[in-house]
Structure 1
Amino acid sequence: MSNLVFFFVPTVIFLGLVLPLWLLLHYIGQWRSSKGLSAEDRHTLETALAEVSRLESRLETLETILDAEQPEWRKQHSSES
């Protein structure tokens, strides 16, 4: 009987206290490490920002051309809205 208690008590303590705390701390660590951007997400974001920058430059060029060819185009299109 004493041998059974010798193995039973540490097992209950481990399963009741140590294991849940261990699992909780493990998953908190996993959650914290996944909060940042992954390398793939960072690459996608950089690609999108480069595309936005390219499109902004293109839009500025088109507006410059329109300003040179039709100086009143901004007034015409802003009054329609």
Structure 2
Amino acid sequence: MDDVLAIVCIFIALPWLVMHYVTKWKTAATITTDDEALLEDLYSLAKRLDERMDTVERLVASDNPDFVPPRIQHDREVDNLPLRELEMLLAEKKGERL
């Protein structure tokens, strides 16, 4: 009886257990469509907030000539490269071409 139990455990229970957790691992590692929508909304919100910060900085700079913005500059190529890459990925996902 012990031999049958050992054989069942080795050839049925163990592979089932491994496959069960492999399947759980694969489904947990993917991003869902809700997550993608949330990321896209957050990205658009960040772009709008960045435009607002640019406006505020321009207004402050016009009042105070010594003002130096302490953040990423929108007109520097080094600062815009990651943003352009992200925009290209979003455009490719939507089937557009930049």
**Length-normalised TM-score, structure 2:** 0.55
Mapping for residues 1-81 of structure 1, pairs under 5 Å: 9=4, 13-74=7-68
2:26 counterpart letter in structure 1: R
More helix by share: 1
**Please, which runs of 5 or more residues in structure 1 have no aligned partner?**
75-81
Runs of at least 4 residues off by over 6 Å: none
Q: Counterparts of 2:30 and 2:10 in 1: how far apart (Å)?
A: 33
**Length-normalised TM-score, structure 1:** 0.64
How many residue pairs get matched? 68
| Structure with max Cα Rg | 1
Question: What percentage of residue pairs aligned between the two structures are identical?
Answer: 24
SS in 1 for 2:50: helix
